[in-house]
Each structure stands twice: as structure tokens, then as C-alpha cells.
Amino acid sequence: MVVILEKNAAPEQIENVVKHLEGFGFQIHKSTGAERTILGAIGVKPNFDIRNISILDGVEEVYRVTTPFKLASRSFQEKNTLIKIKDVEIGGNQVMMIAGPCSIESEEQIFKLAEIVAKSGAKILRGGAFKPRTSPYSFQGLGEEGLKLMRAAADKFNLLVISEVMQISHIELMEPYIDIFQIGARNMQNFALLKEIGNIRKPVMLKRGIASTIEEWLMSAEYILSGGNKEIFLCERGIRTFENYTRNTFDLSAIPVVHKKSHLPVIADPSHATGLRDQVPPMARAAVAAGADGLMIEIHDDPEKALSDGPQALLPDTFIKLVTELRLIAQAIGRTL
């Protein structure tokens, strides 16, 4: 249920409404905007008479949120969520670029690629240290050693760091090295992990599950939001369909759908969505045109020798050229990049 307070509602009136809602057993999430306060009252009470609240002083409107996700919905928060990390903004007018290798492989590799990322104008370096591989015999990542190398490379080139967290026991270990936690497609519905991430105060990128609907994806964001961690952005990375020319099917319309249904920023990952190097630039361009708040792109200087996802990695020169094209597309729709 959403309770919209009057523009000039006094703090005591707001407190009184909160007290009533808590008395009825609701859990309250307050969203204080420039103009007015909105209360999200969470609790499953199908027979609750909303007039109990609409008659209180200072209340303008009360309505039930019909979507199963509440805190993630546009009706709870009309304004876009803006995440600020140092001088980088996610969800603002600037389209934010994340790039780097699929996996951190060596000191030489991550420093070389960090330099390319910085040269392109991208602000965030990606790299997996704990890899979710389909085969247990494939390269599993360098672990903490990899995170140390990536942090050092990012610091040298003034970049932020994002890396995937696969299990609860790694959260504490990873925290000092990274700026953003990535929840991968395979863990989108690992509810125990989502709850733990909800309890921390560090931005999170939540990737869409391999076979998840947009509603299921937003429900996973709801897990994190309900724990109190509000700094979430989503990442469309393709879904499994009957088409098998590409690794996954890039669901481009998920971008405007998320923007309509939710206030959370949404970015696109054309690398995992297509799995093929030559398909990455066109899908990246389409994503920016569709309004994506950012992109995450895998790059490698020697893709044939990459320890994971070589076939989808862009070569440095192609990547730099792509960013210049994306900048023009962003400008055409009134954004910067």
C-alpha cells in the first residue's frame, strides 16, 4: 500500500500516520521527495480497509500497489533512483560505461585492460575473481589475489571496480576491494544471498536470471530493497529462448519496460546477451538508443587466449571506436556518455 502525504503535511502528522500503520502491523519505508513524503506500507493484509489511513490528517491519497514488487515500483517512488559513487553517477543523464575482461587473469592483463577502459572514457572496471562456470573443470577465477590486482589497476587509472559475488561467505572478503557488488544471472534467485546483500550498504548490480521474467527480476530487487539497501541497478544480459544462434536472446524491450515499472536504473550487457564479438556493437548501440542507463562490455587484448568468454570479448580498438559511436547516439537522445 502506498500512502501519499499532503505537500504541507507536518512532521507530527507524518509520524502519526506511521504510528497507525505500524499499529496495524505494516512495515514502513519512507521516501522523502523534494515536494512530499510517500510511505510504502509493506504487509500482506487483503482485507485491510484503507479508509483507516485515508481519514488521518495530512494524508492525501492511499492506494494498493497491484504489482508484487512494492519498493521497486514506480508508484512507490516516482523519481529515478540515482546512485552516486565518488564522481560517478548511475541512473542520471550520463550513460555509464563498465568494461573489462570476463575474468581477471594476471597482473599484466588487468593493468593493460584498465588502461584501455580509462582511455575510452569509461569509469568502471569489471573483472571476475570468482567465476560461475558451467563446467567445474573450467577456470574458476583468481579469487582474492585477482581482486587485489584489479583494485590496484583501477586505482592507477582512477576507475571504480565491480566484481561478482557468488556466495555469502565472500561478501566480507570482497568488500574492501570493490565499489559495486555484482549478482550474476545464476544467482538472481539465490534469496539467501540477496537478503545478505540487502543488509550491507554498498551499491549492487543485479543481473537478470537466465530464464527469469521481468517481474521475477524486480522481485529479486525487492529482496535487496526490503533489507534497506537502496543502491541497486539492474542489468539486462539476455535470456534463454529457442533461438540458439546467439548465446542468449537480448531482450531489448526490457529496458523501457523496467523504466516504466520501476525507478531503478537499468543497464545492458550485450556481451553475455549475444556471446559473439560481431554482435556486441550493434546491440550496444541499440541499448543506448533504447534508453539504457549504462552498458557493461567485455574486452580482451588477446581473446583467443582468454581463460573465459573469449569469443564475445571486443578487441581494444573496436571497443574504443564503439564508445565514440555510442557517445553520438547518447547525444541524439539528449544524454551524455
Summarize as ranges the residues that interact with ligand PEP (CB under 6 A).
102, 128, 132, 164, 184-186, 207, 237, 272
Among Mn ion, ligand PEP, none, residue 100 binds (CB under 5-8 Å by kind)? none
Q: What would the grid cell of residue 54 be?
A: 485515508
Q: Does 98 bind Mn ion (CB under 5 A)?
A: no
Judged by CB under 5 A, the number of residues near Mn ion is 2
Among 17, 53, 102, 221, binds Mn ion (CB under 5 A): 102
CA 266 from chain center: how many Å? 6
Residues in region 290-319 near Mn ion by CB under 5 A: 309
For Mn ion, the closer CB: 91 or 146: 146
CB of 73 to ligand PEP, least distance (A): 24
Q: Are strands 124-126 and 160-164 parallel, antiparallel or unpaired?
A: parallel
For ligand PEP, the closer CB: 70 or 272: 272
Q: What would the grid cell of residue 231 be?
A: 543502491
Q: How far is CA 255 from CA 20, 165, 199, 264, 282, in A?
A: 38, 24, 27, 11, 16
Q: How far apart are CA 258 and CA 264, in angstroms?
A: 8
Q: How far apart are CA 186 and CA 28, in angstroms?
A: 31
Among Mn ion, ligand PEP, none, residue 70 binds (CB under 5-8 Å by kind)? none
Q: Does 164 bind Mn ion (CB under 5 A)?
A: no
Q: Please, what is the angle between helix 191-199 and helix 214-226, to 10°? A: 40
Among Mn ion, ligand PEP, none, residue 185 binds (CB under 5-8 Å by kind)? ligand PEP
The b-or-e profile of 161-180 (16+ CB within 10 A means b, else e) is bbbbbbeeebbeebeebbbb
CB of 211 to ligand PEP, least distance (A): 12
* Listed residue (123, 101, 122) closest to 113, CA to CA: 101
For ligand PEP, the closer CB: 186 or 202: 186
For ligand PEP, the closer CB: 59 or 232: 232
* Listed residue (234, 210, 224) closest to 80, CA to CA: 234
CB of 308 to Mn ion, least distance (A): 6
Q: How far apart are CA 100 and CA 120, in angstroms?
A: 11
Nearest residue to ligand PEP, scored by beta-carbon proximity: 184
Q: Does 56 bind Mn ion (CB under 5 A)?
A: no
For Mn ion, the closer CB: 58 or 100: 100
- Neighbouring CB atoms inside 10 A of 125's CB total 28
CB of 147 to ligand PEP, least distance (A): 14
Q: What would the grid cell of residue 102 be?
A: 570476463
CB of 43 to ligand PEP, least distance (A): 33
For ligand PEP, the closer CB: 3 or 122: 122
Residues that bind Mn ion (CB under 5 A): 102, 309
